[in-house]
């Protein structure tokens, strides 16, 4: 069942979302060669707690950190660690915050210093996939219209769409119905309606779409070792244009 949100609930979700966006800005300002992903985790954890928000990921199904930090061939669910970022890396940072009982969820991929053209194109195209998708995040379209638009754009750019992980509804819980795949035929699934809130999150690979999970049972990597990028916002369906909730 898809839980529709009232205007009042969406206003609270915007507060949660704003804290996520501010966390991303904090990460952006601190990303440079030599910084460790654990330091980024600590910054976000401290910031969210200072704002009376709960880092949603910490303890979620046992996930041990406040952010997911996925470098290069890591797709999602990377563990922050003592690994130092290096010039030329890309890092996908996924952040969730719970505020007044509601969740905001957003991911961005950042460049570390000068990055090669393949990675730069991947990161820009992944962001564009999100914007292609939300052209259909409007009442009267159907859910898979978003999915299809994302896949069509990714493949037009010579990139591939991760199949094993998808977007989702968001509300009091981080993962609600429906699932929001980044691939599929158009005109399928539920019709979108005002009050739905969706985390739309293309996960896009430079090489093949196949992924595997590392021995820590969390970190997802590409099977071919090529880089992957991630771009996500929490989006409300309205009576007009989609409303991004995870923005400042």
Q: How many CA atoms lie within 13 A of 204 on its CB side?
A: 36
Asked if residue 179 lies in contact with residue 13, where contact means CB atoms within 8 angstroms, the answer is no
Q: Give the 3-state secondary structure of residue 130.
A: helix
Identify the bridge partners of residue 205 per DSSP, sorted by sequence position. 160, 228
Identify the bridge partners of residue 222 per DSSP, sorted by sequence position. 211
* Closer Cβ to Mg ion, 167 or 227, answer by number: 167
* Closer Cβ to Mg ion, 84 or 163, answer by number: 163
Query: Least separation, in Å, of the C-beta of 178 and Mg ion?
Result: 13
* Closer Cβ to Mg ion, 138 or 233, answer by number: 233
Query: Least separation, in Å, of the C-beta of 114 and Mg ion?
Result: 27
Question: Does 75 sit near Mg ion (CB under 5 A)?
Answer: no
Tell me the CA end-to-end span of the chain in Å, nearest whole number. Answer: 30
Question: Does 13 sit near Mg ion (CB under 5 A)?
Answer: no
Among 41, 45, 89, 105, binds Mg ion (CB under 5 A): 105
Q: Which residue is nearest to Mg ion (CB)?
A: 199
Q: Strand pairing of 228-230 and 220-222?
A: unpaired
Question: Does 103 sit near Mg ion (CB under 5 A)?
Answer: no
Of residues 172 through 201, those in contact with Mg ion by CB under 5 A are: 199
Burial bucket for residue 208 (CB in 10 Å: 0-12, 13-18, 19+):
exposed
Question: Does 94 sit near Mg ion (CB under 5 A)?
Answer: yes
d(CA 182, CA 129): 9
Query: Least separation, in Å, of the C-beta of 117 and Mg ion?
Result: 27
Asked if residue 174 lies in contact with residue 103, where contact means CB atoms within 8 angstroms, the answer is yes
Question: Does 107 sit near Mg ion (CB under 5 A)?
Answer: yes
Query: Least separation, in Å, of the C-beta of 95 and Mg ion?
Result: 7
Of residues 203 through 222, those in contact with Mg ion by CB under 5 A are: none
Query: Least separation, in Å, of the C-beta of 174 and Mg ion?
Result: 7
Stretch that binds Mg ion, among 8-16, 90-98, 137-145, 182-190 (CB under 5 A): 90-98
Helices (H) and strands (E) counted in the chain, each on its own, are 4, 15
* Closer Cβ to Mg ion, 53 or 199, answer by number: 199
Asked if residue 170 lies in contact with residue 105, where contact means CB atoms within 8 angstroms, the answer is yes
Residue numbers at the binding site for Mg ion (CB under 5 A): 94, 105, 107, 199, 232
């Amino acid at each position: 069942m898809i839980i529709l949100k009232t205007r009042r609930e969406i206003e609270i979700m915007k507060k949660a979302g704003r804290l996520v966006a501010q966390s991303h800005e904090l990460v952006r300002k601190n990303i440079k060669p030599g910084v460790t992903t654990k330091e980024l985790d600590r910054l976000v954890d401290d910031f969210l707690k200072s704002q009376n928000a709960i880092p949603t990921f910490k303890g979620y199904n046992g996930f041990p950190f406040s952010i997911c930090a996925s470098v290069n061939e890591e797709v999602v669910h990377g563990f922050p660690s003592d690994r130092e970022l290096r010039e030329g890396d890309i890092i996908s940072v996924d952040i969730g915050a719970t505020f007044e009982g509601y969740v905001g969820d957003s991911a961005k991929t950042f460049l570390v210093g000068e990055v090669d053209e393949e990675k730069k194109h991947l990161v820009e195209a992944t962001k564009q996939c999100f914007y292609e998708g939300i052209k259909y995040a409007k009442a009267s379209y159907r859910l898979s219209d978003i999915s299809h638009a994302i896949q069509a754009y990714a493949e037009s750019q010579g990139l591939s769409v991760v199949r094993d992980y998808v977007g989702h509804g968001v509300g009091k819980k981080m993962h609600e119905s429906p699932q929001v795949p980044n691939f599929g035929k158009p005109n399928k699934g539920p019709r979108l309606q005002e009050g739905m809130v969706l985390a739309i999150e293309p996960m896009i690979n430079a090489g093949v779409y196949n992924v595997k999970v590392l021995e820590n049972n969390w970190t997802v990597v590409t099977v071919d070792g090529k880089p992957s990028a991630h771009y996500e916002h929490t989006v409300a369906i309205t009576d007009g244009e989609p409303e991004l909730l995870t923005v400042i």
